[in-house]
Amino acid sequence: MSSARSYGHYATLEVENTATTQEIIASYRRLALIHHPDKNPDDQEAATEVFQKIQLAYETLKNPEKRFQYDARISFITSASSASQGQSTGDDGNLDEHNFPPGFGNLYFFMRREGGSPVFYYTTQPPPTHEHTESSWHESEESEESEEFEEFDQEEVLAQLRRRAAKAYQERVAREREEARIKKAEAAAAAKQASEEAKAQEKEAKRMAEKTKQEERWSTMNAQTKEEKLETCLHSEFCAKTQLRQKFKCGACHVKRGITAFECPHCDIFICQQCVVDFGKKRVAAEQNPIQEPEPVVDPEPEVKVGGHDKKSTKTNSKGGRGRPHKANGQGRRKGKGKGQ
């Protein structure tokens, strides 16, 4: 809690008016860490206002010249307040120089208004006497203002604070945008990786399904030897593309091709690009018309004999014996002509 000797900028920085420069710097750093807008995201507007006051107090008190001017102004205000209550004033209403703090006896303080706001300044020149004319008073005032008066105008300090706050805001916005860009890029990279992994898993599942179908095809066609499997292989959609050192002979169409070969993972032979396309069509056709397993061979039923003859011989006898039909008159064919005929 600030004491009676702590007021204005000193109270803002929570130090005494006798504080050293190092004490002012240390207090400023401590308060800046507490009240900085970035440290108070829930109420940045209020934090910015407090931080600007702290910054203004620090900029004023850390500079010996500005601090001297500030102390002089505060002393003048205090003395003027005492004078307005009837304390030690001269006949002309000016403050007695003995009312100023030690070291201020040779300073003359004035106050004027600009835009409705009081502006305090001081000079080492005594105020004009009543013998001055009105014109000479104005000339003296203008000369003193331009050459010897030092105004306690804080607009530049406030403008500097506003520029710093704007710069900090722009830096924070730029930082947030950069963080958002990085997060977006990381999300895009993660999505791309997930998509690639999904495609790889889908490709692997498709390859395994194709391998299973090819093995079922070999089993259905009873292909057991390497030659039989080669003849019935539809070759894989996932043949590995290989660059050979010299031209090769296609293992499927047996035509000599270039140096680009495709190795089938099912039968381990090199096939050409044309066969890759052709067998792709054959695989589609095989999907639409799968090979049917052959029906099992059933032995014929044995013939049943009736009266020592089977059914076939009985039927034959009933037709005239040995399968020959009877004539219309009921006589059978003669074996040969008789004598005399």
- For the segment 166-200, what is each residue's pLDDT rounded down to a tens digit? 899 899 999 999 999 999 999 999 999 999 999 99
Separation of alpha carbons 53 and 47, rounded Å: 10
| C-alpha pair distances (Å), 96 with each of 80, 88, 141, 155, 194 | 10, 6, 21, 31, 85
Give the pLDDT band of residue 47 (cuts 50, 70, 90): confident
Distance CA 13, CA 8 (A): 9
Coil, strand or helix at 86: coil
pLDDT at 21 over 80: yes
Q: What is the pTM of this model?
A: 0.36
CB 54 within 8 Å of CB 13: yes
Would you say 235 and 252 are in contact if contact means Cβ atoms under 8 Å apart?
yes
The angle at the Cα of 303, spanning 301 to 308, to the nearest 5 degrees, equals 160
| Cα–Cα separations (whole angstroms), residue 79 to 63, 84, 114, 291 | 24, 9, 22, 115
Selected residue with higher pLDDT from 205 and 142: 205
State how far the Cα of 121 lies from the Cα of 127, in Å rounded to an integer.
13
Give the start-to-end residue ranges of the domains of the chain.
8-84+92-158, 226-288
110-127 confidence digits (pLDDT tens): 454 445 444 444 554 555
Q: C-alpha angle with apex 104: 130 to 120, nearest 5 degrees?
A: 65
Q: CB-hemisphere CA count at 13 Å for 159?
A: 4
Higher pLDDT, 326 or 95: 326
Q: Once rounded to an integer, what is the mean pLDDT over residues 275-279?
A: 93
Mean pLDDT (the chain, rounded): 74
User: What is the mean predicted confidence (pLDDT) over 102-106?
Assistant: 45
pLDDT for the residue 76: 73
Whether residue 107 contacts residue 124, with contact meaning beta carbons closer than 8 Å, is answered with: yes
Residue 298, pLDDT > 50, answer yes
Determine the Cα–Cα distance for residues 93 and 163; give it in Å rounded to an integer.
42
Average pLDDT over residues 26-41: 90
Measured from the Cβ of residue 212, the count of other Cβ atoms closer than 10 Å reads 10
Domain range 8-84+92-158, its CATH number among 1.20.20.10, 3.10.450.30, 1.10.3720.10, 1.10.287.110: 1.10.287.110
Residue 77 reports pLDDT greater than 60: yes
Residue bearing tokens 């900029």: 59
| pLDDT tens profile 204-256 | 999 999 999 899 989 988 988 989 888 989 999 999 999 999 999 999 999 99
254 φψ region: left (φ > 0), alpha (ψ -120 to 50), beta (else): left
Q: Six-digit token pair at 159?
A: 């403008």
